[in-house]
Each structure stands twice: as structure tokens, then as C-alpha cells.
Amino acid sequence: MHNNPTKWQGKSKGTVLGYRIFVFLMKHLGIYAAYSLLVFVALYYFLTEWQSNRFMYYYFRHRLGYSAPKAFCSLYLSYFTFGQTIIDKIAILAGLEEKYTYTFDGVEHLKELLANRQSAILISAHIGNFEIAEPFFRKIDLELQISTVIADMERSVIKDYIQSISQKKPSHQYIVIAEDMSHIFKINEALGTNKIVCFTGDRYLQGTRALKAPFLGAEASFPAGPFLIAAKKKVPVVFVYVMKEKHLHYHLYARIAHPVTPDAAGLLSTYTDNMEQMLQQYPLQWFNYFDFWDFF
């Protein structure tokens, strides 16, 4: 099977040297110094990533309905905002968690699930910065045993470096999507032992099953797995996002899904509606830099 370069490839850009430079700046000059360097890094991507620019311009211009000048300016701001979330993730892993402030919105839903020792499914997306959700859980004394389902395709040298700077051992486990489908058994095992399983519901790997649904006014494809599993298991579903706000502040949103129909299509429709609401509030935090709507 040949990969389509306009679709998600399961990995992100970046080099270990880039990460090292930002870590050095954060530790010696502060997080805002790293943000300052990001002005030039974001400009580089803005000037060179022509393919990503096409996809993101389409998002701003045709899906959000921005004017052409506003959509063009939003391209740069998107790269800058994305870079900030990466810096924030690295800073928190490197022990600078106390520099950030947090707002918890709907976290009582997670507390109730834990108190009842009830298995559940969390569904997030590549908006905001869900990768820093763990500090939120620690802040409210939620030592969650979360199993996060991931596509483990990042370059190993970057993963090794990120792990080397991490000051705290993760309290959650990873379930890696495997070609032999062994991840399905691990997901079922976690749900069968009253654990919480977390998915991202907006990206799928080529060759895997997808569901189509209208999203921001046009049809798009979503991974079938999270929604089929949730419908089959009949467990509570919570949509969770961690969104960046001004300065060094993050806002965690947790929303119980109340689908019109309890099947996978109903859950997906509720998910897309919820994500649209998030993007109306945080339009620059859509970080799917590929042909999400199969327009090109």
C-alpha cells in the first residue's frame, strides 16, 4: 500500500537539536524566551511548508469562513500557536509545571467515574494540547490509570530525548496500535478491569476503517475504532480537551457524550458537534496539517 502524502503519516516534524535549543532557553532564560525564538521558527514553517499551508488555508477560508487576508494571517498564527503548545509540553515534562496555571471545567464527570470504579472511554482530538493532560489529573489528585491508544510512529531519537528530560514517570500506560490487532485485546482488557481508555477521534491511519460525518460544513473521515468500541461496550464516553489560553494558562474541558442514538454514528455526530464548539472558541488550535476533508 502506497502512502498518500496529503494524508496523516502518523508522525510529526522536528529535530532533537530543535528540542535541545528550546529546553536550554526555557531552563536558563525562561519560557517566554523560548516563545521569542518561536517567532522565527514559525515564520520558517510559514514560508516553506507550502503543502500544509494549502490545507490550513482551506480550513480557515472555507471551513471557518474567514476572509482571504484573515485566513492568510491565521496560517502564521497557527504555526506559532502550535509551537507554543510543543514548548509547553516540553517545559512541563522538564519540571517547569509550576509555571503554569489551570482551569478545570467538567472534571467532576471524571471524579464520578473513578468513585464508581467504572470503565469509560475518553475521546480527545489534535486540538489544544491533550498531551499535557496528566498534570491536570495530578493537580486534582486523580491518579488515573489511563491507557492511551497511540500510533507509535514518531522518530525514536526524539522520543528518547523527550523521555530523558521528563522529571516524572507517567501514571498512564500506552496501547500501541499494532498491525496484528493485538491492541484490540489490550483495550478490551483495560475496559474489562474498570480502567479508562483514551483515544484521539480525529485521525486514522491509511488502511484502517473510517467513518464519514459532516464536520464544519463538509464531509470528513474519522477513525471508526473509538466510536465502534464505545457503542459495543456501552460505557460512558467523555470528550476531553486541554486548550491553551493567554500566557501560561490551560483550560481542561470534560464533557459527557449524550448522543441522539447510542450507535457509532450517533457518537461520532455528537463528537463532531462538540469539536466544532471548541474550534469556534479556539480556531487557531486545530493542528491537523494535512488534507483532512479530502479536498485536494
Paired sense of beta strands 120-124 and 196-200, if any: parallel
pLDDT for res 142: 60
pLDDT for res 160: 66
pLDDT for res 59: 98
Contacts of 34 by beta carbon, 8 Å cutoff, 6+ apart: 22, 25, 26, 87, 91
Residue 33's H or E segment, with its range, is helix 31-48
Name the nearest CA neighbour of 22 among 102, 98, 89: 89
pLDDT along the chain (296 residues), means of 10: 50 67 86 93 94 97 98 97 93 87 90 84 94 74 71 58 63 74 88 89 86 97 95 94 96 93 94 98 96 94
pLDDT for res 151: 74
pLDDT for res 164: 66
Q: Which residue matches cell numbers 536558563? A: 28
What is the pTM for the complete model shown?
A: 0.89
Per the CB < 8 A criterion, the answer to whether 278 and 243 are in contact is yes
Quote the cell numbers at residue 257.
457524550
- The helix/strand/coil state of 292 is coil
